[in-house]
Structure formats: structure tokens, C-alpha cells
Amino acid sequence: MGFFIPQNFIYLCAVQSICMKYLFGVMLLLFFFQNTQAQINQNYDDPNAIRDSLQDFGKREVANDSLKVHTPVITDYTYWRQGDFNPSIVDTVLTIESFYKQNFTEKDVFGKMFFPNFGQTFNPLEYEESRFRNHLLPTGKSFNYLFPGDIRYYDVKTPMTEFVFENGLREGQYLSTTFTHNLTPQLNYSVRYRGLRSVGRYQNNLAANNAFISTISYKSKNERFKLWTHFASQNLDNEENAGIQQLEQFVLDDSLRTTNRQNIAVNLESADSQFDSRRFHLGASYGLFGKAKSDSTELRTPILIKNIFTYEKQKYFYEETAVEDYYESPIFGHLQRRNRKNLETLQNTSTIEFQWGKRLLLEAGLRYEKLKLYSSDPLSVGLVNIPQAIEDNLLGGVAKLYFDWNEKIKLTADAEFKSGDVFKSQYHVNAELDIQPIDGYHIIGGVLVESSFPSLNLFYNQSFYKDFNYYNYNFENLNTQKLFGKINLEKLKTDVEGTIFNVDNYVYVGSDFRPRQMDGSISLFQIKANNLLTYRKFNLRTTVQYQKVTQNEGFLPLPDLIARASIYWQGMMFNDRAEVQVGFNANYFSEFESREFFPVINEFMLQRTNSTYGIQKIGGNPMLDFFLNIKIDRMRIFLRADHFNTFWGENNYYSAPFTPFRDFKIQFGVKWYLFT
């Protein structure tokens, strides 16, 4: 079985391109010539057990007394993200949490509703906190985008390769490939390519997302000087069909239950959108008053001087290659049905950081940010003059605090303030306190206070549709207050969390397609509980969230209840050579009047009242999946039967108004680590 599965894996991925065939051939050679490897013990809490189980993991030679041979263990393969205080270990464990991340975002998407095709947007089922960052990214493109804080920098004792594969919908696949290598104990580089192409079952529904990311990280032998840098190129391209024209074609025709969905007439048969980003990021730090490392003491220099520089260029492009009559807005004097807008940002942050061992960190400094938002030409629409370019310089400060008192009290906080002529004064304060009165039991509380500029995508737009041009220069800052508390009972595998939001000057897209700002507040609360019950090898994992918008619900419609449950068996099989996880998964959210998706600007808007169907509600139907996950050494293989309950009942499952959720699908995927 260890030989048969990789061969099928290579066969399925070969259709990606000729280059991928050669790449997988190299993978296969590396895999079979690792004749000294053994299975990794995943008990991270016991490094001695890990080392004992991996005595054959590294290359060992006939020894003499003077030869030192290092035997790699899983803790030798780590990564960190900018802002992390401590590195993380590469995760090769088979858990239900790893099952939840088996999608093209490689993240748990609880609280988000998939659209029909892979690589499309998600319908947010809960309030989405935006990052405190000025960017052009539309909501519809944000779920598969990697920000600077999402980039991983590696430190590995031997070369490591990570492969993730998943088949697409109807035609296509998702493939993520990462290779990282320490040229010296101080110098690491990594290269990652992530590509997705999926045709989908409906017309004009193709998704083609890809990203190329390269990183370099360096530290001097005494770790006084550190440098990290990355280049990221990301493209998020989609054909946009704006839903189906007539619900009866989906609801009443049972012959279309699993096939021929591409014959259903859709809105916008020729539209497509693109979001492109190119980013260069460079950070460096130098420690003062530190001493060289010894074999017994890890150095953390008490004072660090840091500087982080980022330059990024983003582009949003929308085009219709044929005459469409879906929107009633008249065409505005353009020979071509296309529009584009761009954003260039340059950011530099200089700070001084004080550390006291692993217990205390204080950091403060200055930040400069330059923004240029522009389109092709200046426009005049009625009484509104839309400039060709908007430029601004913002200056401010940043601060960070980390305090850990003997694992019993942890306090983390960060703050930022910046101000400019166009984008006004903005601030962000976030703090969290974690108290552990008894081992394995945590009481966590936190607060967020933020005043941020609204989405630049809703602030400025030029379009060949006359009514979709806007320059909302009078928008005020979006003010958010968040208060949350959490009880984490680790030994009982249970946690309960409550959150209260209050949002002033909320910006939304109205049913007339126009971005607007509320003269008032939106208030909501959420209560979320997670629990894992285990009996022998049987497990039940449940997540339930109740939420309610208590003020101005009509501007932010959300379901009252979101739930997920997984019942499964997990244990060793095949003479303890494979770990198996098999069971059923169910997702549910209560019925509500969802927002609809507006492809021209790639945002969600308040639903229009349809002359035939009125206001459409979605939800109220469970979505059932069967899954089988197998872990063999460092390879995880998964097989899912997604949404198998589509074979009975009515066709009344939707991702958004006039956008059906996907039908039954057999989903296959692999996640594979190679340590050489």
C-alpha cells in the first residue's frame, strides 16, 4: 500500500502540467531512497520519546569515537511568522482539526459558506473582523489571500518538502508545493507554489488562483543579527456568473441533481474578475549587549533594534467580453466593458524591542506609510468628480507587549496609531489576558478598540457602468469595540467563548449597488462552544455558535445558529502501519435572508426584492459528508463524499441568493511531508 498510493497520487497530479510530472518524479525518487526513515512519534510533550522513536530517521554512518551524528526529530522542523514570540513545529499529526483544514485555503472555515466552485468566495455567516491595514482587497477575494503575517519562515535541520493535492470540481485540481532547506545552521530559504484551477458545474464559473512565495531568513552565529525577507506574487482570477436566472431550473428538475448543471442559464455569461498582488518584504534586527550562545544557555539579547520594510502593488480588474443586460445601470461612455483600479503601498516600521528571557517583551517605534490609489482616467459623474489618483502619507507609532508569569498569567497586547490627510487618524488597541488558576484550565479575556478607514474597495471605484462609479470622500472611520471572554477546560476538551461587538459608522453595499455608511451602530453578540467526547476509539467533536444582531439587523443579516458535528472512529490498522480516521460530518446554519454577491466590485450587498421570488432565504438544511482519512508515516490521504444527502429531499440548498451550493462530490486529497 505504501508503494501503490504515491503512484496514484502522481497519476492524478500529472494533468496539471508537464512540469508537474517531472516535479513529482523527483518527489518519488526522494521518497523511495530514504531507506533509513522511520515513523515520527507525534508526542510533542515528550522529546525523549520522539528521539527514541527516530533513531533511524537521520543518516547514520559507521562511527568512530570522534564522529558526531545528529539524528533529526520532528522538533527539528519548525517555522515562525512575523510577530510570533516562539516558533511552531511542523504539524504531521492526524486530528479532526487537520480534517477541517482540508480545503483550498488550508484553514478551518467554520462560519463561512462555500460557493459552488473551489477558489470562489465564501458567504460570511458571522461578523468578519477586518485586518487593521489599508488594502484594496475585495471581500470576494480575501479568503485565499496571504498577508505578510501569514508567510512562514522555516528553520529545518534537513531539507523538507510539503505537498498538498486536492481534486477540483468537474475539471482541475489544487496543488501546494513547499520546499525549504537550511544551507547552513544560520541560513534558510524556502520556495512555495500554490496553484488552483477548477471549472465548476455551472456556466462561467472557472476559478484560477495561484501564488508564488519565496523566503530567506538568516541569523548570525551568536544570533545578534537577524534578517528575513520574502517575495509574494498572488493572482486570484474568477469567472463571475452572478447566480442562476430562474430558480425553477434548479429546484424542480431532479434530472439535474448531479449532472448537467452547466445547462442552467446564469446571469453574466461573460464576466470575469482578477486580483493581482506583488509584494516585497524585508525585516532585520540587531541585538545590543548580548553574549554568544553557549551549549546550555539560549541567548535572547535584552535590546533589539528592528526595521521592517514592505512594498506592495495591488490591482483589481473586472471585464465583460459580451453585452450583458443583467444590471439596469447604463453604460458610461466606454468603448470596452472593462475597468481597473490599482493600489501601491510602501510601509516602513522602525522599533526598539526589550526582552527579558522568555517572559517579557516590550516593543515600541515609528511607522511610515505611503499610499497611492489610482485608476485610468479622471471622471465626472453627475456632481461627483472622481480623481484619477489619490495619494497620502501616514505617520504614526506602534507598540507591543508580551508578559508570561510562570505559565500562570499571560498578557499580550499591541497598539498602533497613524494619521494622514486623506485617510485620517486611525488607531488600534488589542489586549488579551490568559489566567491559568489550575493546570489545564484557562480563563481568558480581551478587548479590542479600533478606529479604521473603511475598505478602499468601497471608498473608490471607476466602472463602465455609470451607476457603479463612486468616490466616497466623506466616509468617516469605522469604529469597532469588541469585548470577549473564554473558559478553556483543556482536560475536559471543552471551551466556551462569548463575544460582544459594537460597530459605529458601518459601511455596507445597499440593494441599489451603492456603498453607504450607516448613521448609527450595529450591535451583536456571539456565544460559541466546542467539545470533544471520546469513548475508546470513538469520538464526537461538536462546535455550536449562537449569535444575534441586536441593533440594525437589517444592515447585517446573519443566521442565529451555526453548528458543526463530526462523529468518527480513529485508531491504528494494517499491523499498526497506518492510522485511520473514518466517520461522518454535518454542517448546519439556520434560515436567514442572506446578502447577495455583487461581482462587479466583488462584495456582498443587501438583497434586492425580486419581482418573481421576493426576498430569498437560505439555510435551514444540514449538509452531510462522509470522510476517510489515512496517515502512513508522514503522508495523510483523505477521501470525502461531500454533501451526500443531496440524493434525497428537495433542491433547496444555497450558498447565497440565486447561487446553489455544490452537489454531491467525491473529494480526494493528499498531504505529504518529505524529510531528506
CB contact at 8 A, 538 and 569: yes
Please compute the mean of the pLDDT values over residues 654-660 and round it to a whole number. Answer: 94
- pTM for this model (two decimals): 0.85
Better-scored residue on pLDDT, 325 or 97: 97
Question: What number of other Cβ atoms are within 10 A of residue 381's Cβ?
Answer: 16
If you write DSSP's letter for every residue of 609-659 in order, what string do you get?
Answer: -BTTTBSPPB----EEEEEEEEEETTEEEEEEEETGGGGSS-S--EEETTE
For the stretch 185-224, what's the b/e string if a residue is b when 16 or more beta carbons lie within 10 angstroms of its beta carbon?
Answer: ebebbbebbbbbbbbbbbbbbbbbbbbebebbbbbeeebb
Residue with cell string 513547499: 178
- pLDDT for 1: 36
pLDDT over 50 (residue 14): no
Question: What number of other Cβ atoms are within 10 A of residue 511's Cβ?
Answer: 13
Instruction: Write the pLDDT tens digit of every residue in 271-287.
Output: 999 999 999 999 999 99
Instruction: Write the pLDDT tens digit of every residue in 212-222.
Output: 999 999 999 98
Confidence category of residue 378, pLDDT binned at 50, 70, 90: confident
Side chain identity at 550, as an amino acid letter?
Answer: T
Confidence category of residue 20, pLDDT binned at 50, 70, 90: very low
Confidence category of residue 335, pLDDT binned at 50, 70, 90: low
CA dist 521 and 512 (Å) reads: 21
CA dist 282 and 348 (Å) reads: 10
Confidence category of residue 334, pLDDT binned at 50, 70, 90: low
Instruction: Write the pLDDT tens digit of every residue in 110-137.
Output: 999 999 999 999 999 999 888 888 889 9
pLDDT over 80 (residue 387): yes
- pLDDT for 71: 76
Instruction: Write the pLDDT tens digit of every residue in 142-193.
Output: 999 999 999 999 999 999 999 999 998 888 999 999 999 999 999 999 999 9
CA dist 575 and 632 (Å) reads: 12
For the chain, give the number of residues.
676
pLDDT over 90 (residue 559): yes
Q: Where are the beta strands (DSSP E) in 294-337?
A: 303-320
CA dist 101 and 109 (Å) reads: 8
pLDDT over 70 (residue 60): no
- pLDDT for 255: 58
Pairing of strands 603-605, 207-219: unpaired
pLDDT over 50 (residue 425): yes
CA distances from 61 to 57, 67, 85 (A): 12, 9, 37
Confidence category of residue 263, pLDDT binned at 50, 70, 90: confident
- pLDDT for 55: 35
Q: Which of 283-297, 318-332, 413-427 has the lowest mean pLDDT?
A: 283-297
pLDDT over 50 (residue 6): no
CA dist 251 and 659 (Å) reads: 12
CB contact at 8 A, 136 and 651: no
> Quick one: what percent of the chain has pLDDT higher than 70?
86
- pLDDT for 554: 92
Better-scored residue on pLDDT, 610 or 11: 610
Residue 101 C-alpha from the chain's centroid? 10
Pairing of strands 538-551, 521-535: antiparallel
CA dist 301 and 289 (Å) reads: 7
- pLDDT for 252: 76
Confidence category of residue 254, pLDDT binned at 50, 70, 90: low
CA distances from 156 to 78, 218, 430 (A): 6, 12, 33
CA dist 239 and 269 (Å) reads: 9
CB contact at 8 A, 111 and 126: yes
Residue 71 burial by CB count (10 A; 0-12/13-18/19+): exposed, middle or buried? middle
Instruction: Write the pLDDT tens digit of every residue in 442-460.
Output: 999 999 999 999 999 999 9
pLDDT over 70 (residue 544): yes
CA dihedral 88, 175, 662, 127 (to 10 degrees): 30
- pLDDT for 259: 54
- pLDDT for 68: 63
Residue with cell string 508570561: 404
Instruction: Give the CA count within 13 Å in the CB-facing half-sphere of 158.
Output: 17
Residue 484 C-alpha from the chain's centroid? 22
> Quick one: what percent of the chain has pLDDT higher than 90?
67
Give the SS3 label for residue 7.
helix
Please compute the mean of the pLDDT values over residues 38-65 and round it to a whole number. Answer: 39
- pLDDT for 511: 92
CA dist 75 and 45 (Å) reads: 10
Instruction: Write the pLDDT tens digit of every residue in 492-537.
Output: 999 999 999 999 999 999 999 999 999 889 999 999 999 999 999 9
Torsion sign, CA atoms 548, 489, 588, 447: positive
Contacts of 88 (CB under 8 A, 6+ apart): 78, 79, 80
CA dist 248 and 591 (Å) reads: 20
Q: What mean pLDDT value characterizes the chain?
A: 86
pLDDT over 50 (residue 41): no
- pLDDT for 50: 39
CA dist 188 and 229 (Å) reads: 11
Query: What value, to the nearest 5°, has the Cα angle with vertex 369 and ends 365 and 372?
Result: 175
User: At residue 291, what are phi and psi to the nearest 5 degrees?
Assistant: -115, 165
CA dist 1 and 630 (Å) reads: 11
CB contact at 8 A, 456 and 475: no
Better-scored residue on pLDDT, 542 or 170: 542
Tell which CATH classification among 2.40.170.20, 2.130.10.10, 1.20.1260.10, 3.40.50.300 matches the domain 34-675: 2.40.170.20
CA distances from 497 to 113, 355, 363, 438 (A): 22, 31, 29, 19
The set of cell numbers assigned to 655 is: 450558498
Better-scored residue on pLDDT, 663 or 69: 663
- pLDDT for 385: 85
CB contact at 8 A, 229 and 282: yes
Residue 313 burial by CB count (10 A; 0-12/13-18/19+): exposed, middle or buried? middle
Instruction: Give the CA count within 13 Å in the CB-facing half-sphere of 618.
Output: 23
CA dihedral 597, 600, 601, 607 (to 10 degrees): -30
Q: What is the DSSP letter of 377?
A: S
- pLDDT for 42: 38
